[in-house]
Amino acid sequence: MPHAVKRRDRLIGLFVAGAVLLNPPILTLFSGGSVLGWPSLFVYLFGVWALLIAGLAIVLERRPEIRNDSDKGGLP
């Protein structure tokens, strides 16, 4: 089932990206400072978080052509 496999790989990719971007040591790069008057750590964390959710939504809501693809789950 190529669609399910591709979807799973994309989600795992999002997980890895989120785990790296939302944790130290990347976070220490945004310590202090501000962007347009907003604290840069605040902007960075919520920005990445929002992008991650948008990515999740795009991957999860995109349906394959044949509707019942996901219903069959991982059947061989």
Partner 1 sequence: MSPTVVVLTALGYLFLLFVVAYLVEHDQTRASRLTRSSWVYTLSLAAYCSSWTFNGGIGRASQHGLDFLPIYLGPTLTFCLGSVLIRKILRVSRANRITSIADLIAARFGKSTGLAALVTVIAVIGMIPYIALQLKSISGGLAMMIASHPVAGPASIPVLADGALWAAIVLTIFAMLFGSRSIHPREHHPGMVVAVALESILKLVALTAVGLFVVYGLFTGFGDLFARASAATNLGALFEFSGTSRSIDWIAMTLLAMAAIVCLPRQFQVMVVENVDERHLDRALWAFPLYLLLINFLVLPIALAGRLFLTAGANPDSIVLAVPLAASQPVLALVAFLGGLSASASMVVVEATALSLMVCNDVVMPALLRWRGLRLEQKQDLTRLLLWIRRSAMVGLMALGYLYMRQDSEKYALVSIGLMSFVAIAQFAPAIVAGLFWRSATKAGAVVGISAGFIMWVYTMVLPSFAQSGAIGLDFIHDGLFGFPLLRPQALFGLSGLDPVTHGVFWTLLANIGCLIGVSSLTSQGPIERAQAALFVDAFRYNDAAQIWRRTAPLPDLVSLVARFLGRERAVAAFRSAGTAPGENATTERADAEMVLFGERLLAGVVGAASARVLVSAVVEEEPLGVEEVMRILDETSRVIEANRRLEEKSRALEAATAELKEANSRLRVLDRLKDDFVATVNHELRTPLTSIRTFSEILRDHPDLPLAERREFLGIVVGETERLTRLINELLDLSKIEAAGLPPSLPPVDLGEVLRECAAAMGKVFAANKVDLTLNLGDQPAWVSGDRDRLVQVGVNLLGNAAKFSAPVGGEVTVSLGGDAESVELSVADNGPGVAPADREIVFERFRQVGDTLTGKPKGAGLGLAICKRIVAQHGGRIWVEGEAGSGAVFKVLLRRVSGTVEAEAAE
The count of residues interacting with partner 1 (CB under 8 A) is 42
Q: Is 2 in the site for partner 1 (CB under 8 A)?
A: no
Under 8 Å between Cβ of 69 and 3: yes
In the bound state with partner 1, the residue whose beta carbon lies nearer, of 31 and 66, is 31
Q: What is the nearest approach in angstroms of partner 1 to the Cβ of residue 29?
A: 9
* Per-residue contact string for residues 30-69; x = within reach of partner 1 by CB under 8 A: xxxxx-xxxxxxx--xx--xx-xx--xx--xx--------
User: Strand, coil or helix: what is 44?
Assistant: helix
Query: CB-based contacts of 65: which residues, under 8 Å, 6+ apart?
Result: none
DSSP state of 38: E
